[in-house]
Amino acid sequence: MNSKPARMMILLPAIFMASAFSLIPFLLFVSCAFKNPSDVAAVPPEWFPSFYLGSFHSAVTRYDIFHYLANSFIVSGATTLITISLGCLAGYCLARIPRRPGQVILMVILACAMFPQIAIAGPIWSFLRSAGWLNTYQGLIIPYVALTLPLAVWILALFFKQLPEELEDAALVDGCTRAGAFVRVVLPLSAPGLFTAAILTFIYAWNEFFLALLIMTDPAGQTMPVGIALFQGEFTVPWGEIAAASLITTAPLVVLVLLFQRRIVSGLSAGAVKG
Amino acid sequence: MKKKEIKFYLALIAPALLVLFLFIGAPIVQSFIKSLHTIITGLPQLKAPFVGLANYKDLLNDPVAVHSLRLTVVFVATTTFFELLIGLLLALLIHHRFYGRSALRACVLVPWAIPTVVAAQMWRFLFNDTYGMINYFIFGADSASYIPWLAQPGTALFAIIFADIWKTSSFAALLILAGLQVIPQELYQAAEVDGAGVMSRFRHITWPLIRPALLVALLFRTIDAFRVFDLAFVMTHGGPADATNVLQLYGYKKMFVEGMMGYGSAVSVSIFVIVLILAVLYVRMVGRRMLEARA
């Protein structure tokens, strides 16, 4: 292992296996989106797609996936916006108050993320029904905010702690109020932390299925995961259309991962090191 | 702190705490209260009478619920074990410095980033009994011996376990990677100078130092595996013959399909209690390990 060729002998197969494990099942599936319907179910499998685009066409025209996509963007976007706004206020508070109470509150907030969704599903559903909020955007956005807040607060609190307090002290001396120092000095420096928390919140809301299934029973308000899960064909499973819809849902996430891999890794692992 | 500052900080944290209280804390208490009543969504005229612990008593005598608990435990134990194992191997690999490492990291993140529902449809396709590629990989064109993976109890559970391992090993890898990154490189250099081989460096440096990160990954993965829902809902809908009717799916069906809110709440409170006990156990373990490490 100390010589270079020997190292490569182990490293190369390992790299190959890790990327094959991660990518090949997904590629086999989404390639169905570009196959003729008769090729999708062929035995032996038709490995290479024929670049047939009919499945996309039918997914858009017959299954109207763009409205699911629009719902997903509205719900995930609004969730991210609200979670990050509330999260940066709370995170800043926890980073600046004395250690003991700060840690206790942070632990309580984190504990909220550990609960199984089903433990809150019944009461939330009853509440939304009595408020007339089933099948509304706010009915889904508010529970999502509650579920994504803990991780966002955690990431942001860790980030604010790294910023030296002297920065705000200087602003205070210069005549800023506390709130002014936060908005003018701290927030502009926190763009990386805000961004990491926003990506993770967005991915969570984009992928969430359980609550979306309960709350959005009317197809008009359903998000992409619900649409994909409930995809029904008339006689056979419409794999081409499911694959096309899956590819469209996944594409924004894959782009996020490729562009911001470093941030996602550091954001997700923040909890593990300090925890 | 001055009084004015306390007010300022309270105002900052109040909105977040309020949201968490209203939509997580209060609903959990309400779930518990509902579980002490008979509530049937379709029959509001019954007026939800208080029944004490009767729902929990019924739950213990409900063969479907006991079966569901047993198979969920099998699911949690198997997926967590393999996810930590594969996660550890992946973490060791993506921690290594080589040309193209960030491209590999992005690849490894793909299963984590795609929606679980998409992963579930994907494996439903790959495990298909007539044209699924997994059958083709194993048996070739000999379609007579193809296995109907999702239509047999044992293989259906295997399929959702397999799908979960594929989906979440990379998340475990990231948590373990965080542990690897805080190990000082000097330790390895010193060990190498002293003539320690790869295996003994792993045993005496890497392993003891990543144990806290492994425990954190174990905590997150066990708790998360207990709320498996999406995979079972899409791939098998709990079948065949309840073979993949995991706890959260069972509770969902009771509450939202059959409309038995009270009984379903008893199911969900039970899941909550199991997860809570596990979390407390793990946190105490991790906490003690950390103290030991410091001493």
Residue A258 has pLDDT above 90, yes or no: no
Give chain B positions within 8 Å (CB) of A28: 126, 133
Q: What digits encode the pLDDT tens for the residues A87-113?
A: 999 999 999 888 888 888 988 888 888
Is residue B129 a contact partner of residue B149, using CB atoms and an 8 Å limit? yes
Supply the range of the domain harboring residue B177: 56-294
In a domain, B254, yes or no: yes
Q: What digits encode the pLDDT tens for the residues A199-224?
A: 999 999 999 999 999 999 999 999 99
Residue A225 has pLDDT above 90, yes or no: yes
**For residue B179, with 0-12 CB atoms within 10 Å meaning exposed, 13-18 middle and 19 or more buried, which class applies?**
buried
* pLDDT-derived band at A9, boundaries 50, 70, 90: confident
In a domain, B42, yes or no: no
Domain locations in chain A as residue ranges: 54-274
In a domain, B87, yes or no: yes
The structure tokens listed for A262 are: 């470093």
- Mean pLDDT for chain B overall: 90
Is residue A76 a contact partner of residue A141, using CB atoms and an 8 Å limit? no
Among B12, B22, B26, select the one facing A93 at the smallest CB separation. Answer: B12
Residue A231 contacts B, CB cutoff 8 Å: yes
User: What part of B 138-167 touches A (C-beta under 8 Å)?
Assistant: 140-141, 143, 166
Interface contact B131-A18, CB threshold 8 A:
no
The residues near A87 (Cβ < 8 Å, ≥ 6 apart) are A149, A152, A153, A156, A197, B16
Fold of A54-274: MetI-like fold (1.10.3720)
The structure tokens listed for B95 are: 């921690």
In a domain, B24, yes or no: no
Over chain A, what HEC string results? CCCHHHHHHHHHHHHHHHHHHHHHHHHHHHHHHHCCHHHHCCCCCCCCCCCCCHHHHHHHHCCCHHHHHHHHHHHHHHHHHHHHHHHHHHHHHHHHCCHHHHHHHHHHHHHHHHCCCHHHHHHHHHHHHHCCCCCCHHHHHHHHHHHHHHHHHHHHHHHHHHCCCHHHHHHHHCCCCHHHHHHHHHHHHCHHHHHHHHHHHHHHHHHCCHHHHHHCCCHHHCCHHHHHHCCCCCCCCCHHHHHHHHHHHHHHHHHHHHHHHHHHHHHHHHHHHHC
Task: Give the domain CATH number at B79.
Answer: 1.10.3720.10
Q: What is the ipTM of this complex?
A: 0.90
Closest CA in chain B for residue A271:
B175
Amino acid code (one letter) for A79: T
In a domain, B267, yes or no: yes
Count of structural domains, chain B: 1
Q: What digits encode the pLDDT tens for the residues A155-186?
A: 899 889 888 888 888 888 888 888 888 888 88
